[in-house]
A = this chain, B = another copy of it.
Amino acid sequence: MQAVGLVVEYNPFHNGHFHHVQEAKRVTEAEVAIAVMSGQFLQRGEPALVDKWTRTKMALASGVDLVIELPYVYSTALAHNFAKGAITLLDAIGCSTFAFGSEQGSITPFLNTVELIESNRAQYDIFIQQAIKTGMSYPQALHYAYESLKLTYPNHYIDLSQPNNILGFHYIEAANALQSKMQAVTIQRIEAGYYDEVDYQKHIASATGIRKALSDGQDVSHFLPEKPYTLLCDWQAKHAKFMSWEVLWPLLKYAILRHTPEQLTAFADVQEGIENALIKHAKTSNTYTEFMMKLKSKRYTWTRLQRMLTHIYTGVTKEQLHAFDTPTYIRLLGMTENGQHYLSTYKKQIELPLISRVAAVKDAMLTLDIQATTMYAIGMQLFSPQKIDEDIKTPPIRV
């Protein structure tokens, strides 16, 4: 059985994701699709709209055969580390290919870009340093260095200002670093840009657009396959609200103000220099959005701020987060019969421990996943009765 790996968040699962799963299986001729999915907190530094088990059910109903959890350490990291965690897990579980959505849509320019940068690392770093000396920000300097390299070695490259292209680039880079045998495939994203608002003329909207529509109380049935849509409706019927930073604001505010400025800088990703602004604006803001509008600046992008806030919210320190290099386990969130068949066939060739029952395992990286799940559940309790020990109590979903 051949397996294709997908790196996903499914926040929530929509028609674009469905297209991606189907295309990935069709193009790679894989019999099994394995998704490595962010848990309760996501790469943009946000809590997921609905919890990881509900998103797992959405995936399993839509062509994915196995869902494994991307540990908190990677799911809340910058693209480089996010990709490293995800690709390492897909490689470890035996995928022969991995398929990612991109603006670019064909794989050669990705391979060219990775090759260009890897072969000219020294020159690339010189360009970056030059740019920083002129006063550019780090992202600007990366862009300058890349454009400079492209001029030196003309070829067909990707546009590295597109968010999904950036992720794809890092997936391939991570696979190379691992010397993985997995082959990279890209599926062109259709009909919706990453940040677009929903357009009811289309059947595909971005997850960002769908979340916005949901928070505005709009109907989103148009953009989700039937079963994921039902799961989303069930969640709303049960909990009345979706999870968001806005909902968590009372707790986040309390967490920020409970610390001295010095203590705040101990949390992962919190850059020295921002601690006083965090406290000052937390004191005067009644909503998360108000807080973020005050906090945002040229120096700190929205997602960078959100990642800091994620770690402050969950209480994860730099010391805790930086203790890790590579994933230490494969956590199963759910599987179809086909996925179970794959696992029982290849189990012995998988070198990382497969975890289906959390209670039995002592692992520092896993402890952070459990912690993040507890903190997510504590937030849920603000608006809906909720058990806390879900990670211990919830077995993998089987459909």
Contacts and interface: CB of A to CB of B under 8 A. Distances in A.
Interface in A278-328: 283-284, 314-315
A382 B250 contact: yes
A375 B250 contact: no
A166 interface: no
A388 B259 contact: no
Contacts of A315: 258-259, 263
Contacts of A283: 374, 388-389
A194 interface: no
Nearest to A316: B258
B375 A257 contact: yes
A258 B257 contact: no
A220 interface: no
Contact of A378 (B254, B263, B374, B378): B254
A379 to B, nearest CB: 8
A251 interface: yes
A257 B370 CA distance: 11
A284 B250 CA distance: 21
Interface in A247-293: 250-251, 253-255, 257-259, 263, 283-284
Contact of A388 (B251, B255, B257, B374): B257
A255 B389 CA distance: 16
Contacts of A375: 254, 257-258
A391 to B, nearest CB: 11
A257 to B, nearest CB: 6
A129 B388 CA distance: 44
Contacts of A254: 251, 254-255, 375, 378
A381 interface: yes
B258 A255 contact: yes
A258 B250 CA distance: 14
Contacts of A259: 315
Given A283-B388, A382-B250, A388-B284, A314 B258 contact: yes
A265 to B, nearest CB: 15
Contacts of A382: 250
A258 B371 CA distance: 8
A279 to B, nearest CB: 9
Interface in A87-145: none
A385 to B, nearest CB: 8
Nearest to A252: B254
Nearest to A314: B258
A263 B389 CA distance: 20
Pick the most buried of A258, A381, A389: most chain B CB atoms within 10 A of its CB: A258
A250 B381 contact: yes
Interface in A322-357: none
A36 B45 CA distance: 47
Contacts of A314: 258
A250 B386 CA distance: 13
A258 B314 CA distance: 6
Nearest to A312: B258
Pick the most buried of A255, A283, A378, A381: most chain B CB atoms within 10 A of its CB: A378
Interface of A: 250-251, 253-255, 257-259, 263, 283-284, 314-315, 374-375, 378, 381-382, 388-389
22 contacts: A250-B250, A250-B251, A250-B378, A250-B381, A250-B382, A251-B251, A251-B254, A253-B381, A254-B254, A254-B255, A254-B375, A254-B378, A255-B258, A257-B378, A257-B388, A258-B314, A258-B315, A258-B375, A263-B315, A283-B374, A283-B388, A283-B389
